[in-house]
Amino acid sequence: MINSLIYLIIIGFILGLLFWLVDYLTTPEPINRILKAVILLVGVLILINFLLQLAGQPGFIKFHQ
């Protein structure tokens, strides 16, 4: 449980840095929105997976063995 929480925090930090990097690099507007949407989608999928595992259901992403 604690390992999954640590992975969730680290992945959230990495996704936050990627989100910031997209703004920092000043990419053109359509590409900027698409990249942010993909980053948010990945973050939501990881969060849903974490909550499924917390509820006792098998998740679709395995963080540890």
Please give the pLDDT value at position 65.
Answer: 54
Q: Which two tokens stand for residue 29?
A: 């507007």
pTM of the full predicted structure?
Answer: 0.77
Look at residues 58, 39, 44, 37 and name the one whose alpha carbon lies nearest to residue 8. Answer: 44
pLDDT tens by residue, 20-36: 999 898 888 899 999 99
Domain ranges within the chain, ordered by starting residue: 2-54
Q: Which DSSP string corresponds to the chain?
A: -HHHHHHHHHHHHHHHHHHHHHHHTT--HHHHHHHHHHHHHHHHHHHHHHHHHHTTPPPSS-S--
Residues 54-65, mean pLDDT to the nearest whole number = 71
Please give the pLDDT value at position 62.
Answer: 66
With a CB cutoff of 8 Å and minimum separation 6, the contacts of 1 are 54
